[in-house]
Amino acid sequence: MKTQEELGVPVPANKPLIVRTIKYVTKEQREYALEKTEYSMFSFPADLIFVDFLSDSGSGTMTDFQWAALFHGDESYARNKGYYVLLEAVRDTFERGDDPKKAINLILTGETDVKRLMDELYITSYEGGFVNGGTHQLVRPNAFIVPQGRCAEHLLFSTIAPILKQKNKDITYYIPNNGHFDTTEANIVANGIKAINLFSENLLDDFPYNEMDRRNPFKGNIDVKGLENLIQDKGVESIPLIYITITNNTAAGQPVAMKNIKEVHKIAEKYDIPLFFDACRFSENANFIKEFEEGYKNRSILSIVKEMFSYVDGFTISFKKDGLANIGGGFFFKDRGVFHRKFSIDEDIGIKLKERQILTFGNDSYGGMSGRDIMALAAGLYEVIQEPYLNERKSQVREFARKLAQNGIPVILPAGGHAVYLNMDKFFEGSDMRLEDLGGVGFTIELLKNYGIRACELGPFAFEWDKKTPQQRKGILNLVRFAVPRNVYSASHIDYAVAAITELYHNKEKIPKVRISRGAELRLRHFQTGLQPIYND
Ligand SMILES: *Cc1c(COP(=O)(O)O)cnc(C)c1O
């Protein structure tokens, strides 16, 4: 008889004990609301939607462990207890592998032994890693809590841009990535630096859906040859940082292989360039490495995460993703590592970053987060590396993609970690829909109007195809993303979505072209512009 693991269906990882009733809204009501909200996905009231795949960002369900932790939140202005718990959780998650200390339990179990609390939590000393502790964090700050991932990006790029100018004001700087997320790219560009996407060459290759459980080509990898060429071509001085996004959200949520991370690490080391992760979905990425990369089957998620992070010099992260929290972000870099050495010119770079953090978000012990959110986030870091959870999540996304593929829908395969992506070039193949007609946007409008399902275009509209040079346009894919929030939806939501998407696919000639009716020139415009679908009848 097969074991529970061999059944080919993941072991259930949780059970909901609280539910929210979805309102019954008619197509006519949604049609009215769409018209009144300029047909923008970002302006449509969430309460009127049946299934919301707009984003997995901060939209997940928290566990009972997190809600319990939340009650221990401490709203003190300076050095709230959650600050220490969170720093320990970050050390546990990214540096300690199979030996986490779980100091959070001191708080959750109501420890009253003051000496123990001081020795293990409040009066500790760490240096040499991603999170200095005690006076080392004061002298050489290297851990920055902020409300979101983009705040970490803003903090980083707005602080290093003037330093780069000071180093050499006459050159153009480039930051390569396996796929810049939209806010990352916008923060880089807003600070006068160029953002380069080096997608893996196999990204859009076909992949048979019945092999998704057997192998994975790690299409999220960075194009290593392209990276070497870029450095050679532009010169080492022009590349202040190299970024790897795990998983590669912009490239269809595809994972990055440990082998790829190691290769980039070697290149970064050779040229003495700091290598950073955009670490938003580190544990989902680690789970792909465990399942598909040779030599990792018997390793724990934590030990894989530790190895991944041993190859980088720092990371920005949105804890709203993998971290299972509703809010939170951070920036961490190696104490006295490459970044620290390269950017501490007149003054310690950590001190400069901290000054900016205080100016924009608040002092370093809360960074714009409430004490409650800090505790929920710290607890979430222990939940998100649990394998039953990761396996069930991964398989839900994979099933979503498999069912779409079985119905003939052009979905990018294999499925990524957090979302399913449709290839809209293929979706509209054979029709007169051109890239500039924004067919992906038209599709999302029809899906919301007819079936109450919200998805997100990540293509010529979101990535501003019309504002780019022919060279830059090569870095743009034409996708629609269905991001799956964590622990929110069940198979019935997925089945409803698959049926609706399939129906629209069979009626694609009814999908309208779309024009931008207001604010085409705005930056990050998919959050703010008005749209107008053009119906033929
Ligand atoms: C969401 C995301 C960000 C930005 O994080 P926010 O918390 O939304 O500001 C950056 N990079 C990637 C890969 C992301 O998915």
> Which numbered atom of ligand 1 lies nearest the CA of 247?
13
Give the phi and the psi of residue 219 in degrees, each rounded to 5. -70, -5
Domain finish residue from 318, 342, 374: 318
Run of H or E residues at 515? strand 513-518
Q: Look at residue 8 and tell me whether its pLDDT is greater than 90.
A: no
Domain finish residue from 277, 292, 318: 318
- The fraction of the chain above a pLDDT of 70, given in percent, is 99
Q: Cα(40) to centroid of ligand 1, in Å? A: 20
Segment 409-430, tens digit of pLDDT: 999 999 999 999 999 999 999 9
Q: Cα(465) to centroid of ligand 1, in Å? A: 21
25 and 73 in a common domain: no
- The structure tokens listed for 162 are 């003037």
Binned at pLDDT 50, 70 and 90, residue 469 comes out as confident
Question: What is the per-residue pLDDT for 133?
Answer: 97
Kindly state the average pLDDT of the residues 152-160: 98
Pocket test for ligand 1, best of 145, 183, 283 (most atoms within 8 A of CB): 183
Pocket around ligand 1: residues whose beta carbon is below 6 Å from it?
57, 148-150, 181, 183-184, 245, 249, 278, 280, 318, 320-321, 329
516 and 401 in a common domain: yes
Q: Cα(122) to centroid of ligand 1, in Å? A: 30
Does the residue 464 lie in any domain?
yes
Averaged pLDDT score across all residues of the chain: 95
Domain count of the fold of the chain: 3
Binned at pLDDT 50, 70 and 90, residue 521 comes out as confident
291 and 200 in a common domain: yes
Q: Look at residue 523 and tell me whether its pLDDT is greater than 80.
A: no
Q: Look at residue 524 and tell me whether its pLDDT is greater than 90.
A: no
Run of H or E residues at 254? none
Binned at pLDDT 50, 70 and 90, residue 5 comes out as confident
DSSP state of 386: -
Segment 74-114, tens digit of pLDDT: 999 999 999 999 999 999 999 999 999 999 999 999 999 99
Does the residue 425 lie in any domain?
yes
Q: Cα(149) to centroid of ligand 1, in Å? A: 5
Domain finish residue from 338, 360, 385: 385
Give the phi and the psi of residue 276 in degrees, each rounded to 5. -120, 150
**Going by CA atoms, what residue is nearest to atom 11 of ligand 1?**
181
Q: Look at residue 383 and tell me whether its pLDDT is greater than 90.
A: yes
CB 82 within 8 A of CB 74: yes
Kindly state the average pLDDT of the residues 332-338: 98
DSSP state of 410: -
Pocket test for ligand 1, best of 282, 318, 456, 486 (most atoms within 8 A of CB): 318
CATH number at residue 297: 3.40.640.10
**Going by CA atoms, what residue is nearest to atom 4 of ligand 1?**
149
Does the residue 297 lie in any domain?
yes
Residues facing 479 on adjacent strands: 423, 458
Q: Cα(184) to centroid of ligand 1, in Å? A: 8
Kindly state the average pLDDT of the residues 113-124: 97
199 and 277 in a common domain: yes
Run of H or E residues at 106? helix 104-108
280 and 367 in a common domain: no
Pocket test for ligand 1, best of 244, 254, 276, 280 (most atoms within 8 A of CB): 280
Does the residue 249 lie in any domain?
yes
Binned at pLDDT 50, 70 and 90, residue 323 comes out as low
- The structure tokens listed for 371 are 């004490």
Name the residue range of residue 132's domain.
63-148+324-385
Pocket test for ligand 1, best of 181, 246, 421 (most atoms within 8 A of CB): 181
**Going by CA atoms, what residue is nearest to atom 3 of ligand 1?**
149
**Going by CA atoms, what residue is nearest to atom 8 of ligand 1?**
149
Does the residue 154 lie in any domain?
no
Does the residue 162 lie in any domain?
no
> Helix 387-406 crosses helix 282-292 at what angle (to 10 degrees)?
80
Question: What is the per-residue pLDDT for 286?
Answer: 98
Q: Name the nearest CA neighbour of 436 among 428, 301, 485, 23.
A: 428
DSSP state of 62: P
Q: Cα(507) to centroid of ligand 1, in Å? A: 34
Q: Look at residue 205 and tell me whether its pLDDT is greater than 80.
A: yes
370 and 278 in a common domain: no
520 and 420 in a common domain: yes
Distance CA 402, CA 317 (A): 30
Does the residue 169 lie in any domain?
no
Pocket test for ligand 1, best of 249, 285, 327, 331 (most atoms within 8 A of CB): 249
Question: What is the per-residue pLDDT for 212?
Answer: 93
Q: Please state the pTM of the whole predicted model.
A: 0.95
**Going by CA atoms, what residue is nearest to atom 12 of ligand 1?**
181
329 and 218 in a common domain: no
Kindly state the average pLDDT of the residues 138-163: 97
419 and 345 in a common domain: no
Question: What is the per-residue pLDDT for 9?
Answer: 87
81 and 45 in a common domain: no
309 and 203 in a common domain: yes
DSSP state of 533: E
CATH number at residue 524: 3.90.1150.10
Q: Cα(293) to centroid of ligand 1, in Å? A: 26
Q: Look at residue 10 and tell me whether its pLDDT is greater than 90.
A: no
Question: What is the per-residue pLDDT for 537?
Answer: 66
Kindly state the average pLDDT of the residues 240-269: 96
Does the residue 530 lie in any domain?
yes
Cβ within 8 Å of residue 522, ≥6 positions away: 528, 529
Q: Cα(487) to centroid of ligand 1, in Å? A: 19
Q: Cα(323) to centroid of ligand 1, in Å? A: 12
525 and 421 in a common domain: yes
